[in-house]
């Protein structure tokens, strides 16, 4: 089992993703404070990990669901889901990711 806890930023919502490899697919359990992400999770119960890791074959199913259900294009949750899937499928090592945002005035 692999787990990702995603803090989305200014919206203040957090999401927990649990990914579990079963045969050739990864089963997902997604719980969020965000209603849009809960809809995404309800409609994304499992994925093919090899479809999720590349744009070369098809659009990853998680990103398709993100475009359909997320209300904010910059939401980091779909990418966090893919990272959990990669780790669970043995396609990546577990390592935290981060985006740090600042606004600086030009002098």
Q: What is the DSSP string of 64-98?
A: HHHHHH-S-TT-SHHHHHHHHHHHHTTSS------
- Is residue 106 predicted with pLDDT exceeding 90? no
Query: What does the pLDDT read at residue 5?
Result: 97
Is the CB of residue 90 less than 8 Å from the CB of residue 74?
no
- All structural domains of the chain, each given as residue ranges with its CATH number in brackets, are 2-88 (3.90.1010)
% of residues, the chain, pLDDT over 70: 100
Three-class DSSP category at 30: strand
Comparison of pLDDT for 107 and 67, the residue scoring more: 67
Q: State pTM to two decimals.
A: 0.93
17 DSSP β-pair partners: 4, 30
């Amino acid at each position: 089992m692999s787990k990702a806890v995603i803090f989305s930023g200014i919206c203040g919502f957090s999401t927990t993703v649990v990914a579990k490899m079963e045969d050739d697919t990864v089963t997902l359990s997604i719980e969020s404070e965000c209603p849009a992400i809960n809809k995404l999770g309800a409609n994304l119960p499992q994925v093919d990990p090899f479809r999720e890791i590349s744009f070369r074959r098809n659009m990853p199913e998680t990103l398709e669901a993100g475009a359909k259900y997320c209300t904010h294009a910059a939401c980091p949750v779909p990418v966090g889901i893919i990272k959990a899937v990669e780790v669970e499928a043995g396609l990546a090592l577990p390592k935290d990711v981060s985006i740090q945002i600042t606004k600086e005035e030009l002098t």
